[in-house]
Amino acid sequence: MGTVSDAEKKPTVIFVLGGPGSGKGTQCASIVENFGHTHLSAGDLLRAEIKSGSENGMTLNLHLIEIYDEQQVMVYTKFRQIRKLFFDEIGTMIQNMIKEGKIVPSEVTIKLLQKAMHESENDKFLIDGFPRNEENRAAFEAVTKIEPAFVLFFDCPEEEMERRILSRNEGRVDDNIETIRKRFKVFQESSLPVVEYYDSKGKVRKVDAAKPVEEVFEAVKAIITPKEKVDAAKPVEEVFEVVKSIITPKEEKDSSKRSVHLCVTKHGTLKEHLLCKFEACKDSLNATQCLLS
Ligand SMILES: Nc1ncnc2c1ncn2[C@@H]1O[C@H](COP(=O)(O)OP(=O)(O)OP(=O)(O)O)[C@@H](O)[C@H]1O
Ligand SMILES: Nc1ccn([C@@H]2O[C@H](COP(=O)(O)O)[C@@H](O)[C@H]2O)c(=O)n1
């Protein structure tokens, strides 16, 4: 049986979703710093395309490129003029759609995401603000054949998101009350169904994004941190020493508050038990009992 070559290996993708101003970009910056993912914001890529698209005219590289198969200078010049018009038009189209809080056609956004992924040497990506609707989701999966590892969903009330956007001060054309309302509507009607779709597949990791930045990141860290493994073949006391060193005091406190217990499975993986069948597991000091489960 053949093995999967490096070239065929799919990158790990985490979709980062949440309403406008829920703090996706802010948290992605901390994830990049702490976990080394590459952050690709669909909104940032579209904004960059408005700025540079008509200058280099290469980013989107849509079907028009195929028109040019002649070598003559005249044809080439004509081609460049047409191409510039074409990309100017795409830039204007993106700009208008962002101003109106509308979702840009998937073909455009996916091209930008694919290009950024190809140019990166990383193999783990945070794709922020995408997929924004069912069309985005289906097209991305069809084109890239990539399924997200999970969806990091920032849940935040509209009043808080509105407050945050109105004090963001980055000069964005869509950070005004009229467009914000339109973006909230699009989020409710088109983006939440995508979250629900992934939720039905058990892929949504929801975070309370209304809390202060640092607290939100604590929750994010708990989701992103790779699950640590414990060598469960060792004597029970030794295993428990390792378990104790992994469980931080904060997690211990939180887990006892929430009646969540960190246990070691037969395979040596640390596991959170919401309801453990072992009475003895009701506090983390007895976590080793779960070795038997
Ligand atoms: N937990 C938080 N508490 C208070 N303010 C926050 C929090 N997280 C982010 N902010 C601030 O709110 C504003 C919006 O945050 P950010 O740009 O990260 O949101 P976003 O979800 O990426 O927004 P958009 O989808 O509109 O691009 C920023 O000014 C940021 O500094
Ligand atoms: N998948 C996407 C993402 C964004 N847009 C457009 O960009 C605007 C800003 O997006 P942010 O994520 O930076 O808030 C958004 O309102 C859309 O107009 C898009 O079309 N498709």
Tokens for 255, please give them. 């887990």
- Judge whether 262 and 247 are in contact, CB under 8 Å: yes
- Centre of ligand 1 to C-alpha 283, Å, is 37
End-to-end CA distance of the chain: 35
The pLDDT value recorded for residue 161 is 98
Gap between the Cα atoms of 265 and 141, Å rounded: 34
Tens-level pLDDT at each residue, the chain (293 residues): 445 555 567 999 999 999 999 999 999 999 999 999 999 999 999 999 998 864 544 455 544 444 455 555 566 666 666 666 666 788 899 999 999 999 999 999 999 999 999 999 999 999 999 999 999 999 999 999 999 999 999 999 999 999 999 999 999 999 999 999 999 999 999 999 999 999 999 999 999 999 999 999 999 999 998 776 778 888 888 888 877 776 644 444 344 433 444 555 445 555 554 444 444 444 443 444 444 33
* Contact (Cβ atoms closer than 8 angstroms) between residue 207 and residue 151: no
Considering only CA atoms, which residue is closest to atom 18 of ligand 2?
98
DSSP state of 234: S
Strand 124-128 to 38-41 pairing: parallel
Q: What is the DSSP string of 85-102?
A: HHHHHHHHHHHHHHHTTP
Structure confidence at residue 239 (pLDDT): 82
The whole-angstrom separation of Cα 272 and Cα 173 is: 44
Query: Closest ligand 1 atom, CA of 183?
Result: 26
How high is the pLDDT of residue 251?
42
168 a known binding residue?
A: yes
CB of 28 within 8 A of CB of 126? yes
CA–centroid distance, 21 to ligand 1, in Å, is 5
Alpha-carbon span 208 to 218, nearest angstrom: 11
Q: Does 101 sit in the ligand 1 pocket, CB within 6 Å?
A: no
pLDDT of residue 81: 66
Q: What is the secondary structure of 240-261 as a DSSP string?
A: HHHHHHHS-HHHHHHHHHTT-E
Q: Report the distance separating Cα 7 and Cα 103, nearest Å.
A: 32
How buried is residue 200: exposed, middle or buried, by Cβ count under 10 Å (0-12/13-18/19+)?
exposed
| 19 pocket-lining for ligand 1 (C-beta < 6 Å) | no
Rounded distance from Cα 219 to ligand 1 centre (Å) = 16
Structure tokens belonging to residue 91: 């830039």
Residue bearing the CA closest to ligand 2, atom 1: 130
Report the alpha-carbon distance of residue 226 to residue 213 in Å, rounded: 21
Q: Which of 24, 26, 181, 211 to mutate to test the pocket of ligand 1 (most atoms within 8 A of CB)?
A: 26
Are 243 and 227 in contact, with CB atoms under 8 Å apart?
no
CB 36 within 8 A of CB 112: no
Cβ 98 vs Cβ 108: under 8 Å: no
